[in-house]
Structure 1
């Protein structure tokens, strides 16, 4: 069976649209809810911070390899972690997952 050029273009366009319009979501691996209403966040600007990221292009070409709290603390010279932020960015061809820690 031969595909005509117009049918091939249509099939390619449908495939390209399907690939380019799909998204990716991230759900953190925390199993508990933390109540931060009684936490003093006014001192966060005085603390050391460190960040560690893992990212990829086209969702399978890695450009960053480590997104752990341990590596973030090491990057910031932190011995005791007080707070942790998790950030996930997902774009059309790029995604990143970062952990930022604060402490002393």
Structure 2
């Protein structure tokens, strides 16, 4: 449902899905995986992924905003090179 809303929904639905509609599923995943023990052979990898989580969280919003702009650019039906030459028309 979330994938369908992302691809077919309005821009406001994309923000709703991105900013909270998936929260119950995410919380459930955290609860399930928090109770699991990490095998010793994966402990180093799990530590590295855990340490990188904050930086991934910090950069995901700017990347999301850039990709929304790219999606808008690609959805106007003109070549990105044409838009570079006719910037004001693409913005309009």
Give the TM-score, by structure 1 length: 0.22
Higher-helix-fraction structure = 2
Higher-strand-fraction structure = 1
Greater relative CO, 1 or 2 (CA 8 Å, sep 6+): 1
Larger Rg: 1
